[in-house]
Amino acid sequence: MVKAKKFVVAKHFQNEPKPTDLQLVEEELPSLQTGEFLVQAEYLSVDPYMRPYVLKYPLGITMIGAQVGKIIESNNPKYPVGKRIVGYLGWRTHTIVNPQAYTEVDLISQKPMILPDIGSLSPSLCLGVLGMPGNTAYFGLLEICKPKEGETLVVSGAAGAVGSHVGQIGKNVLGLQVIGIAGSDEKCKWLVEELGFDHAINYKTENVAVSLRKAAPAGVDCYFDNVGGDISSAVMYQMKPFGRVAICGSISSYNADASSLPKATILQPTMVFNQLKMEGFIVSRWADRWSEGILKNLQWIREGKVHHRETVTKGFENMFDAFVSMLQGKNTGKAIVQV
Ligand code: NDP
């Protein structure tokens, strides 16, 4: 009999999540039925979307999230023992999976996938640059911003999992001028000195509008927005005519409720007079091209064009701390938990 640990949602998050919002419980798993297999978690992801997304679900569910795990028992020949899978199994150490049970209606109901062959790279990358965040960067930048060589790209949340990859594709693959916005001098130094960004702005210590005007006096063609709020308004007032804005996320608002949403400068004037195009997206839009993104990102890693960093928290019990630390900006690159 296998004992699983899991975090269940005891209280819906309000403002910054509190440790008592989640409860760590143990359960005994039953024997496998035909077609099922048992997964032992190795790496779990903590991502910003979890904060707003989980509110859609009733109390008592297992906290949502993706993990990379190893199949340790199987009654399904398509998922043999020893293989690794990546899937939205939630914050659990052990999970019985029935691949027939997935509806695929949204990101977190996608069927678990056997990991692609990534050679000697860490399987944990399938939660980051070779997984959902990597594909978010790839499709969001190429399909929504549609940048052209020589253009200027600004990315906010630039030192995180998605942003750091967006900037590197922009700079090292597409030949754009790339400016990142991030929350510390250390992160800004990493972006410029190690990842090749042309410039980085610390939004906590600098006036974003003033620093951006200096870094891109001719204006901005593409803005990849991970944060929303006034950082984004400042960028959008410096767009060139016919600029394109990809709205990927709005983390500056995730810990707010409807009554306390941060106020930001009105955007309509710059959108009209600069004839801007702004489009939100969810990466599952490209579910049918998922492998294309992963293979491209893998190729760029192997060619040395893109680099990746992980902020690893050890121990399943520390999932909550890792989650809140990521929301507070303590991660550089992808935040993950190693069991
Ligand atoms: P990150 O690795 O970027 O981690 C979150 C980062 O957000 C923190 O490190 C912190 O960095 C920054 N942050 C926190 N609070 C604020 C704030 N108030 N203002 C500005 N920055 C803040 O996470 P991801 O790369 O996984 O996700 C980045 C964004 O992309 C999120 O908004 C997420 O929801 C979105 N996303 C959207 C997807 C889609 O399909 N549309 C898919 C995946 C992600 P700092 O120190 O710089 O403040």
Q: Tell me the per-residue pLDDT of 278-292, one tens digit each, with 9 for 90 and over.
A: 999 999 999 999 999
In a domain, 210, yes or no: yes
Ligand 1 centroid to Cα of residue 328, in Å, is: 10
Please indicate, yes or no, if residue 294 is contained in any of the structural domains.
no
Q: Which CATH number does the domain housing residue 67 bear?
A: 3.90.180.10
HEC string for the chain: CCEEEEEEECCCCCCCCCHHHEEEEEEECCCCCCCCEEEEEEEEECCCCHHHHHHHCCCCCECCCCEEEEEEEECCCCCCCCCEEEECCCCECEEEECHHHCCCCCHHHCCCEECCCCCCCCHHHHHCCCCHHHHHHHHHHHHHHCCCCCCEEEEECCCEHHHHHHHHHHHHHCCCEEEEEECCHHHHHHHHHHCCCCEEEECCCCCHHHHHHHHCCCCEEEEEECCCHHHHHHHHCCEEEEEEEEECCCHHHCCCCHHHCCCCCCCHHHHHHCCCEEEECCHHHHHHHHHHHHHHHHHHHHCCCCCCCEEEEECHHHHHHHHHHHHCCCCCEEEEEEC
Q: Locate the ligand 1 atom nearest the alpha carbon of residue 229 and give its number.
A: 19
Indicate the pTM of the whole model: 0.97
Distance 249 CA to ligand 1 centre (A): 7
How many whole angstroms from 160 Cα to the centroid of ligand 1?
A: 6
Per the structure, the count of domains in the chain is 2
Segment 179-236, tens digit of pLDDT: 999 999 999 999 999 999 999 999 999 999 999 999 999 999 999 999 999 999 999 9
> Is 220 inside any structural domain?
yes
- Looking from the CA of residue 162, the nearest atom of ligand 1 is 25
Residues 12 and 87 in one domain: yes
Are residues 116 and 16 part of one domain?
A: yes
Give yes or no for residue 114 having a pLDDT over 80: yes
Distance (Å) from CA 6 to ligand 1 centroid: 25
Average model confidence (pLDDT) across the chain: 96
Residue 83 CA to ligand 1 center (angstroms) comes to 31
Ligand 1 nearest-atom number relative to CA 281: 41
Instruction: Give the model's pLDDT for residue 320.
Output: 98
Q: For residue 249, which atom of ligand 1 is closest to its CA?
A: 32
- On whether both 81 and 208 belong to a single domain, the answer is no
21 and 66 share one domain: yes
Token look-up 């640990």 returns: 5
Pocket test for ligand 1, best of 108, 110, 162, 253 (most atoms within 8 A of CB): 162
One domain, residues 101 and 139: no
Q: Is residue 180 part of a domain?
A: yes
Hey, whose CA ends up nearest to atom 19 of ligand 1? Answer: 252
Pocket test for ligand 1, best of 188, 227, 334 (most atoms within 8 A of CB): 227
Any domain includes 292: no
pLDDT score recorded for residue 93: 98
Taking only the tens place, the pLDDT of each residue in 259-268 is 888 899 999 9
Residue numbers of the domain that contains 6: 2-128+308-338
CA of 30 to the centre of ligand 1 (A): 38
Contact residues for 186 (Cβ-Cβ < 8 A; gap 6+): 332
152 and 82 in a common domain: no
What residues line ligand 1, using a CB cutoff of 6 Å? 47-49, 133, 136, 157, 159-163, 182-184, 187, 226-227, 248-249, 251-252, 281-283, 326-327, 329, 331, 335
Q: Is the pLDDT of residue 107 over 80?
A: no
Sign of the four-CA dihedral 310, 116, 6, 59: positive
Centroid of ligand 1 to alpha carbon of 96 (angstroms): 31
